[in-house]
Structure 1
Amino acid sequence: MKRLLLLPLLLLLTPAIAQNKNLDVVKTEAGEVSGFTNPAGDIHIYKGIPFAASPVGDLRWKEPQPAQPWQGVKQCTEFAASPMQGKPDEFGVYTREFLIPYQPISEDCLYLNVWTGAKASTEKRPVLVYIYGGGFVSGGAGVPIYDGEAMAKKGIIFITINYRVGIFGFFAHPDLTKESPHHASGNYGLMDQLAALKWVKQNIAAFGGDPEKVTIAGQSAGSMSVNCLVASPLGKGLFNGAIAESGASFIAPRGYGSLTDAEASGAKLATTLGAATIAELRNKPAAELVGKGQSRPVVDGYVLPESIADIFAANKQNDVPVLTGWNEDDAFVGPPKNAADYKKTIEEQYKADAPEVLKLYPGSTDAEAAISQTRLNRDQIFGMQNYTWANVQSEKGKSKIYVYRFTRRLPATADFVKYGAFHTGEVAYAYDNLKFLNRPWEPVDQQLATTMSSYWTNFVKTGNPNGKSLPQWPAYSAGSNQIMMLGEKPVAKPLPDKAALEFMVKMAKAQ
């Protein structure tokens, strides 16, 4: 009798079970999507899935709205448009592999991409959501070195997302604040990231992912975004781990300004553009606005209710495990000054503190001065920010933090070798994507990429980068100062320039 009663129930469940036997067609809340498989047939790839409504017209400078439902199966086989920004021409060391495609570029940009090796929706694989850098004025999810196939082969689901940049993502104005139900404006790019994470929470199970095991990751402005999301109350429950490569915002001048100041700048810009109302600004062609106005987050009272430093000081952040660090040559400097000019600049800028600065960043020869200029710039922009995060988390947080220094000088031609372990240089290693760069790779590079991507994958899976056959990576503490040096022979060592970082933090806080 029991078997007879169960039979109708089994018949009802059979279509759903059959539908989930493979991921050729996946049902999301807005509709069904299909993608394609890689040549080996072991990874399903979906490109250009809408996670929010197109932020154009009346939705320009508004919190992202739900994606419009569609009928039938949406073919998601090509990257959607990158966010509105300037022409992505090569510059410095940044060749095409580091940049978005030339086309398409559009305000209609709120799409994401999924790489999954799951064979069924029941697998519950851990998820990594990657947030690109670009100074909050450029970037996009379609950059070659952000490809997710290699990481998906390691057992996680890899996702890249778009978010609005430049004036479209970070424009504040008194009238925008008034019309907002949250009485805030300026952080639309961060709201896009949050909307994408909500989409992941609601939909990733259908792709074989675990919505309760999501790690956010980013580099440069993407790392600063991760820092914001960890600090934001709106991020609660959307992720349980964070990877932050070269970027945070604990200390001025990288700490974010007030909404009042941002509104004043926005009002001034509107006048300059000849717009008397927000409606007139929304009617302006997107191309006319590129490169104008506010281009970074703001302490808006909603996404960021307080400064990041104050949020962490009060232990109000989302307390999750963190993997963070920066690169040996993480700097943006022009041609170096000679020793005499370097010393003169330091004395003029730091006055009474100049002797200590020159002790920590010496320049007795031109060669030594050139190295110190790179290191000083590195520590001011990136080092002291991520270093502060490491110390705050190890002292106040319950979750562990793991710190690295990427030291491998990327092999290159004579034109590029001068950049060393440059800003963004670690990304292709961390996500096992060396194949996308035309460089004279050596066996040590392939091994480092295997090691780093294994650390990153382990962290996504367990909140701890360590694993079988990997050099031991101790959690960071202010007492031991142990970090992982990711170079030709990865090894854990005490932070080599702690004294310099401490001094720079002290001076920055005193300003």
Structure 2
Amino acid sequence: MTTLSSIVSTDLGLVEGVHGRRTRKGTISWKGIPFAAAPIAANRFRAPQPAAPWTGVRPAKEYGKAAVQDKRFTAIGPGKYQPTGEDCLTLNVFSPATVRSTPRPVMVFIHGGAYILGTTATPLYDGAALARTQDVVVVTVQYRFGAFGYLDFSAYSTDERTFDSNIGIRDHIAALEWVQRNIAAFGGDAGNVTVFGESAGGSAVLALMASPAAEGLFHAAIAESPAPELVVKRADARVYADAFLRILENPEYRAGGRDEEPISPERARQLLTKASSADLHKAGSRLMGYAKDTDVVSPVPYGPVVGDDVLPTAPLAVAQEGGLLPVPLIIGTNHDEGQLFAKAWNILPSAEKTVIDAAGIDSWNEISALYETGGPDGIRLSADAVFWAPSVTIADGHSAVAPTYVYRYDYATRVLKKTGFGATHAMELFAVFGAFRSALGAGIAAGSWRSAERVTRTVQRHWGSFAMSHAPVAGWPKYTTNQRRVLVIDERPHVRTDPGGERRQAWQKAHAARVS
């Protein structure tokens, strides 16, 4: 077969990738390709702007900068960290090394990280194995998050200086627009794009499905362990923006009274323009603490802001009305989502406060009575509130308008079982990207090589089939509210009907109360 050239022409200029070796043999990757202008200076806190073309051949052999975040979250190997910076709007393309007679399906991945961390340079997100085994083109996207991508300063816009809302979502849209313009040159089919993501990335997928601005940019979607309700109301976004500016001006700021003088657009512009990226990040970290101590309904300051032109309505509410973009959808969660947060990183919002604020004390009493207090079941309650319950509500609504497939990922290696993590948050990604044999995944898969390989084949075949034909491999039935058939992904995959049905009903009553 003819080998694909490593030099490819994009609409901005030529880029040169690199042929894979060892475990990446049979693929080519192009890394660090700009899909928008550097969001610095006048472009800071703005929607992504067009990038400038270049002359000659641009090397595309190294990942671009990670978005600004704590260094510890950018580890890419022992003692190695990906550089960070505001100039981070790049993407990476992975393709089989051969030319195919017809264009390949495209899979565009949005990484997770609670809207405050993450980098496409993380070895787990290497798209080479998925591209090779499933004969697809994989694209991974670096976007802005935290204060740089998910605070809404639009209320401070003037004729002199514009600030945009939902910058992170706008980055995703700009990347998908780049794919539409350029992916054919890499052997991909712009008419068959599947967008997929995990955790905050899965939530971003749902936000795109709820965004009129994303219509036509993708044709199928996969949301892995999304947190559909972790959005920010427009009024709360204004509170968070105001607090951020006050923290930026005075790092010792604490919530004051109602008689605080409003911050003028001119002062806001000065603060946001002159601050260094390090100062902005520090203020953003302090805002997380402020959010815990203030009386704001939206539990986290960073996330899609509901009520602008990009996201007029929250994804959960749109789904309940059957209004998400009518593309085929895979959605699911992991059996032990909460164990990661209980053992390593406790950032989940209070389930009790979230339910009571949204649906009232009666809903909370009904739900909490179905879980044992404390222990694994108490952890499951918190995780169900954030991930599983709203995901089922999304599936219910979307299944009425487009093919929908629901999974639960139950597979845990011996190491994960022994350490008590089980099939916890993000573990399915090792199967999706074929990473159990990588340096990152080897320790997790030790003693479970054969089962890990089987589960990897199962997941990749389903994801690849879905990207190709918008339906998984035979044996995974569509989800409907009449039967509620769910694929349980484990050493021996099987289909269950309405797992956790009693709890599901209680949660969905609460979601219905929230909408009303």
Fold-level similarity (TM above 0.5): yes
TM-score, normalised to structure 1, is 0.84
Mean CA deviation greater in 79-88 or 169-178: 169-178
**CA distance in 2: counterparts of 1:450 and 1:328, whole angstroms:** 19
Partner-residue secondary structure (3-state), 1:210: strand
- Residue 510 of structure 1 corresponds to 513
**CA distance in 2: counterparts of 1:504 and 1:100, whole angstroms:** 44
**CA distance in 1: counterparts of 2:269 and 2:143, whole angstroms:** 21
- The letter for the 2-side match of 1:156 is V
- The letter for the 1-side match of 2:14 is E
- Residue 435 of structure 2 corresponds to 433
Q: What displacement does 1:180 show?
A: 10
- Residue 237 of structure 2 corresponds to 262
- The letter for the 2-side match of 1:376 is L
Question: CA contact under 8 A between 1:100 and 1:140: conserved in structure 2?
Answer: no
**CA distance in 2: counterparts of 1:434 and 1:498, whole angstroms:** 33
**CA distance in 2: counterparts of 1:306 and 1:484, whole angstroms:** 30
- Residue 496 of structure 2 corresponds to 493
Q: 2:482 aligns with which of 450, 461, 479?
A: 479
- Residue 271 of structure 1 corresponds to 246
- The 5 A counterparts of 1:20-59 are 22-39=4-21, 41-59=25-43
Partner-residue secondary structure (3-state), 2:82: coil
Question: CA contact under 8 A between 1:136 and 1:295: conserved in structure 2?
Answer: yes
Question: CA contact under 8 A between 1:404 and 1:483: conserved in structure 2?
Answer: yes
Task: Describe the superposition over 1:204-245 as per-residue Cα deviations: whole angstroms up to 9, x where unpaired.
Answer: 000000000000000000000000001101111100000000
Q: 2:405 aligns with which of 399, 402, 417?
A: 402
Task: Identify if the C-alpha distance between structure 1 residues 107 and 283 changes in structure 2 by more than 3 Å, giving closer, same or farther.
Answer: same
Q: 2:196 aligns with which of 214, 217, 230?
A: 217
Unaligned 5+ segments in structure 2 are 250-262, 288-300, 345-351
- Residue 383 of structure 1 corresponds to 388
Q: What displacement does 1:377 show?
A: 1.4
Task: Describe the superposition over 1:283-310 as per-residue Cα deviations: whole angstroms up to 9, x where unpaired.
Answer: 2110111151542110142110222234
Q: What displacement does 1:424 show?
A: 0.3
Question: CA contact under 8 A between 2:48 and 2:171: conserved in structure 1?
Answer: yes
**CA distance in 2: counterparts of 1:32 and 1:59, whole angstroms:** 25
Q: Which has the larger radius of gyration?
A: 1
- Residue 297 of structure 2 corresponds to none
**CA distance in 2: counterparts of 1:485 and 1:121, whole angstroms:** 34
Partner-residue secondary structure (3-state), 2:393: helix
**CA distance in 2: counterparts of 1:423 and 1:170, whole angstroms:** 23
Task: Identify if the C-alpha distance between structure 1 residues 351 and 214 changes in structure 2 by more than 3 Å, giving closer, same or farther.
Answer: closer
Partner-residue secondary structure (3-state), 1:329: coil
- The 5 A counterparts of 1:348-387 are 356-357=366-367, 359-362=369-372, 369-387=374-392
Question: CA contact under 8 A between 2:221 and 2:328: conserved in structure 1?
Answer: yes
Task: Identify if the C-alpha distance between structure 1 residues 391 and 179 changes in structure 2 by more than 3 Å, giving closer, same or farther.
Answer: farther
Q: Tell me, yes or no, if structure 1 residue 78 matches structure 2 residue 62.
A: yes
- Residue 298 of structure 1 corresponds to 305
Task: Identify if the C-alpha distance between structure 1 residues 223 and 352 changes in structure 2 by more than 3 Å, giving closer, same or farther.
Answer: closer
* CA RMSD after TM alignment: 2.9
Q: Tell me, yes or no, if structure 1 residue 87 matches structure 2 residue 71.
A: yes
Question: CA contact under 8 A between 1:175 and 1:278: conserved in structure 2?
Answer: no
Aligned residues with identical type, % of pairs? 30
Partner-residue secondary structure (3-state), 1:277: helix
Q: 1:69 aligns with which of 47, 50, 53?
A: 53
Task: Identify if the C-alpha distance between structure 1 residues 235 and 174 changes in structure 2 by more than 3 Å, giving closer, same or farther.
Answer: closer
Task: Describe the superposition over 1:316-359 as per-residue Cα deviations: whole angstroms up to 9, x where unpaired.
Answer: 421100011000111165479xxxxxxx99xx999766774465
Q: What displacement does 1:78 show?
A: 0.7
**CA distance in 1: counterparts of 2:498 and 2:273, whole angstroms:** 49
- Residue 298 of structure 2 corresponds to none
**CA distance in 1: counterparts of 2:411 and 2:489, whole angstroms:** 7
Partner-residue secondary structure (3-state), 1:405: strand
Partner-residue secondary structure (3-state), 1:164: coil
Paired residues in the alignment total 461
Partner-residue secondary structure (3-state), 2:405: strand
Question: CA contact under 8 A between 1:121 and 1:205: conserved in structure 2?
Answer: no
Question: CA contact under 8 A between 1:121 and 1:206: conserved in structure 2?
Answer: no
- Residue 128 of structure 1 corresponds to 107
Q: What displacement does 1:314 show?
A: 4.6
Partner-residue secondary structure (3-state), 2:233: coil
Q: What displacement does 1:430 show?
A: 1.8
Q: 2:144 aligns with which of 160, 164, 187?
A: 164
**CA distance in 2: counterparts of 1:134 and 1:100, whole angstroms:** 21
**CA distance in 1: counterparts of 2:432 and 2:100, whole angstroms:** 27
Mean CA deviation greater in 320-329 or 102-111: 102-111
Q: 2:122 aligns with which of 134, 143, 157?
A: 143
Q: What displacement does 1:118 show?
A: 5.1
Partner-residue secondary structure (3-state), 1:204: helix
Question: CA contact under 8 A between 2:67 and 2:119: conserved in structure 1?
Answer: yes
Question: CA contact under 8 A between 1:410 and 1:417: conserved in structure 2?
Answer: no
Task: Identify if the C-alpha distance between structure 1 residues 108 and 85 changes in structure 2 by more than 3 Å, giving closer, same or farther.
Answer: same
**CA distance in 2: counterparts of 1:164 and 1:35, whole angstroms:** 24
Partner-residue secondary structure (3-state), 1:419: coil
Task: Identify if the C-alpha distance between structure 1 residues 178 and 42 changes in structure 2 by more than 3 Å, giving closer, same or farther.
Answer: same
Question: CA contact under 8 A between 1:233 and 1:317: conserved in structure 2?
Answer: no
Partner-residue secondary structure (3-state), 1:375: helix
Mean CA deviation greater in 25-34 or 264-273: 264-273
Task: Identify if the C-alpha distance between structure 1 residues 89 and 160 changes in structure 2 by more than 3 Å, giving closer, same or farther.
Answer: closer
Q: Tell me, yes or no, if structure 1 residue 199 matches structure 2 residue 194.
A: no
Unaligned 5+ segments in structure 1 are 1-19, 337-343, 364-368
Task: Describe the superposition over 1:427-469 as per-residue Cα deviations: whole angstroms up to 9, x where unpaired.
Answer: 11122221221221331111011111111110011100115xx
- The letter for the 2-side match of 1:281 is L
- The letter for the 2-side match of 1:158 is V
- The letter for the 2-side match of 1:129 is V
Mean CA deviation greater in 112-121 or 127-136: 112-121
TM-score, normalised to structure 2, is 0.83
Question: CA contact under 8 A between 1:455 and 1:466: conserved in structure 2?
Answer: yes
Task: Identify if the C-alpha distance between structure 1 residues 180 and 432 changes in structure 2 by more than 3 Å, giving closer, same or farther.
Answer: farther
Task: Identify if the C-alpha distance between structure 1 residues 386 and 413 changes in structure 2 by more than 3 Å, giving closer, same or farther.
Answer: closer
Q: What displacement does 1:256 show?
A: 3.2
Q: What displacement does 1:255 show?
A: 4.0
Task: Identify if the C-alpha distance between structure 1 residues 43 and 89 changes in structure 2 by more than 3 Å, giving closer, same or farther.
Answer: closer
Partner-residue secondary structure (3-state), 2:147: helix
- The letter for the 1-side match of 2:105 is P
Q: 1:325 aligns with which of 328, 332, 343?
A: 332
Partner-residue secondary structure (3-state), 2:399: helix
Question: CA contact under 8 A between 2:180 and 2:190: conserved in structure 1?
Answer: yes
